Structure 1
Amino acid sequence: MPRPELLEQIYTIVDQIPAGRVTTYGRVAAMTEGATPRMVGSAMRHLPDGHQLPWHRVIAASRKLADHGGAERQYQKLRNEGVVFDSKGRVPTHLVWPD
């Protein structure tokens, strides 16, 4: 797990991702003071119970959903927000935040 101050930065960034948009683990990491994409993934896997963070808006650099146990739930949450996927399962680049 990332250090507490990095966790706070990661969670603050993820909380800012607008509905209907996505960002990547790497983009979140680049906005912090030292987190790696892997640390961002770890932070998303270990969210505290009752959190309100839009974890589902963080995806892989390939613009596909990472292969994890919550992938189907993530897909449904994104679809419910209007996120579309192409025939290869990728989110279009115009939906990646920030612009």
Structure 2
Amino acid sequence: MKPALREQILTILAEIPAGRVTTYGRIAAMTEGGTPRLVARALRDLPAGHDLPWFRVITASRRLADHGGADEQRQRLVAEGVIFDALGRVPAEHLWP
């Protein structure tokens, strides 16, 4: 991944406000040449100890992606006031931007 694209992704990630979520695709659309898969890769490659809100990024279906950190992600989102419906989706009003 080009460093400029990675920087765009991480800058957008840092802007997601507490209590809100966005999707891999929405972040990709805000970049120059990004794709949802590249956004996921950038998040997967974050260094240990970072303070970026990776947990505020969800799938286009407004669900958590199936990954090893999904339980922690859900806990962090709930702590910020994000709710999930009976199907595990985040209501659209929590989407940013």
TM category (shorter chain) comes to: over 0.9
Q: Which residue of 2 aligns with 1:48?
A: 47
Render the CA deviation track for 1:19-69: whole Å, top value 9, x for unaligned. Answer: 000000000000000010000001111101221100000000000000000
User: 5 Å matches for 1:1-99?
Assistant: 2-98=1-97
* Percent of pairs with identical residues: 66
Structure 2: distance between partners of 1:34 and 1:52:
25
Normalised to the residue count of structure 1, the TM-score between the two structures is 0.96
* 1:94 partner SS: helix
* 1:10 partner SS: helix
Q: Which residue type is aligned with residue 18 of structure 1?
A: P
* 1:66 partner SS: coil
* 1:91 partner SS: coil
Structure 2: distance between partners of 1:48 and 1:11:
12
Structure 1: distance between partners of 2:2 and 2:48:
19
RMSD value, Cα: 0.5
Gaps of 5+ in 2: none
Structure 2: distance between partners of 1:31 and 1:50:
26
The count of corresponding residues between Structure 1 and Structure 2 is 97
Q: Which residue type is aligned with residue 90 of structure 2?
A: V
Q: Which residue type is aligned with residue 17 of structure 1?
A: I
Gaps of 5+ in 1: none
Normalised to the residue count of structure 2, the TM-score between the two structures is 0.98
